[in-house]
Amino acid sequence: MKAPRQTTILIIEDNAAVRETLVDLINLHGFRTLTATDGMEGLAIAQRETPSLIITDISMPVMTGFALLEALHQAEGLRTIPVIVISAKTDRADTRRGMELGAADYITKPFSESEVLRAITIQLEKKELLDELDAFAHTVAHDLKTPLFTLSGRLYLATEGLGKMDESALRRNLQEASLAAGHLSTIIDELLFLALVRQESIKTKMTTLDMGVIVAESLASLASQLTASEAVIQQPSQWPAAVGYAPWLTQVWVNYISNALKYGGLRPQITLGSARSADGRMVRFWVKDNGPGLDADSQRSMFVPFTRVAKVSATSHGLGLSIVRRIMEKLGGTVGVESQLGAGALFWFELPVEIAVNPTAAAN
């Protein structure tokens, strides 16, 4: 099991030996850990750090695990954090009470490594799904409303104006309605694709890519935008080998190049390129534009997980780049952006040169 990026687990346990065992076990699998020796200390850390998951004992000084569960449930920003109770108490009444207070799982001491890791995996997957459902609801409720309002409003004006307004005004309303419909379609398609990437098992579909063919297909799908913007595309005559899944990589290139067209200024100059990493294990591919560039705050808002897209708006880079991030995580790669104000932006992704024995995608 490989830990997702920035996954923090808070361990609340007054027994030093048990606490250290859990820390060593969880750190070994790539998670970041925080520790507390009682419920009160753990609650303060949770309020400050907002961990992805909490593991707590029941019998502790100052504040018991049961009291902690009650406090977490009452805290607005903490009630959705899954809590795994690990306790020597085996009484069914204690187990039932813990579950009634909001515990997601209950493990008795002594515990095995596989038991703890399985519980962590299950709860983090459930949390991710619930967070994404919440983000999906936000996107549907908010980001689809504006183009839907525009579409319905323009169609109403066009209908009411039949026989009353001149042809140019009628045409303008219909054009605005068409643009809004296209915007709606794009957001819906991206949401459906995001769901597909999450659900599809990719382990057996990873192959050595012909990146030249993939780039050519991506540019062909953007032909009308490239012509309209008078963009100039520069790319190498040959591409290094890497592994991945071609249909998804087409989506990545289309996203990057279309963003370069959108934010690259007048007659954008777009450069496509690649380079191997120093150790030869990864290949970095990139799209560079000559636009106004991005400040540090804007760069930090790129590639957010879909669960945070609502905060940056799906109508800008947010939704598309969250899809790129999801694709790369499934393919065992990474993403990033480099930019300075006034000097354009370079969006990159990295893919492995060879198929891993146990690729990250196998766990997703």
Note the pLDDT tens digit of each residue in 130-184.
776 666 666 666 667 777 888 888 888 888 888 788 888 888 888 888 888 877 7
Q: What is the DSSP letter of 290?
A: -
Note the pLDDT tens digit of each residue in 261-314.
888 878 889 999 999 988 888 999 999 998 888 878 777 767 665 544 444 444
Amino acid letter for position 15: N
Residue 349 has pLDDT above 90, yes or no: yes
pTM (two decimals): 0.57
Burial of 84 (0-12, 13-18, 19+ CB in 10 A): buried
- 65-74 and 92-100 are packed helices; what angle lies between their axes, rounded to 10 degrees? 20
User: Does 194 lie in the same domain as 247?
Assistant: no
Task: Return the pLDDT at 360.
Answer: 38
User: Does 216 lie in the same domain as 341?
Assistant: yes
Q: How many CB atoms lie within 10 A of CB 70?
A: 15
* Domain assignment present for 1: no
Q: 343-354: string of b/e by CB count within 10 Å (b at 16+)?
A: ebbbbbbbbbbe
Q: What is the DSSP letter of 317?
A: T
Burial of 362 (0-12, 13-18, 19+ CB in 10 A): middle
How many residues are present in the chain?
A: 364
Note the pLDDT tens digit of each residue in 13-28.
999 999 999 999 999 8
Residue 128 has pLDDT above 80, yes or no: no
| Percent of the chain residues topping a pLDDT of 70 | 83
Task: Return the pLDDT at 325.
Answer: 84
User: Does 160 lie in the same domain as 304?
Assistant: no
Selection from 222, 274, 223, 224 nearest residue 251 by Cα? 222
User: Does 91 lie in the same domain as 170?
Assistant: no
Of 95, 128, 161, the residue that ends a domain is 128
As a whole number, the mean pLDDT across the chain is 82
Number of domains in the chain: 3
Task: Return the pLDDT at 142.
Answer: 64
Look at the block and give the residue holding tokens 């029941």.
58
Task: Return the pLDDT at 359.
Answer: 38
Confidence of residue 255 (pLDDT cuts 50, 70, 90): confident
Residue 315 has pLDDT above 60, yes or no: no
Confidence of residue 29 (pLDDT cuts 50, 70, 90): confident
Mean pLDDT of 86-91: 75
Q: Which residue has the higher pLDDT, 259 or 23?
A: 23
Burial of 141 (0-12, 13-18, 19+ CB in 10 A): exposed
Mean pLDDT of 63-87: 89
- Residue range of the domain that includes 14: 8-128
Residue 62 has pLDDT above 60, yes or no: yes
Mean pLDDT of 324-350: 87
CATH of the domain at 307: 3.30.565.10
User: Does 92 lie in the same domain as 65?
Assistant: yes
Task: Return the pLDDT at 316.
Answer: 45
User: Does 359 lie in the same domain as 220?
Assistant: yes
Selection from 211, 339, 352 nearest residue 273 by Cα? 211
CATH of the domain at 49: 3.40.50.2300
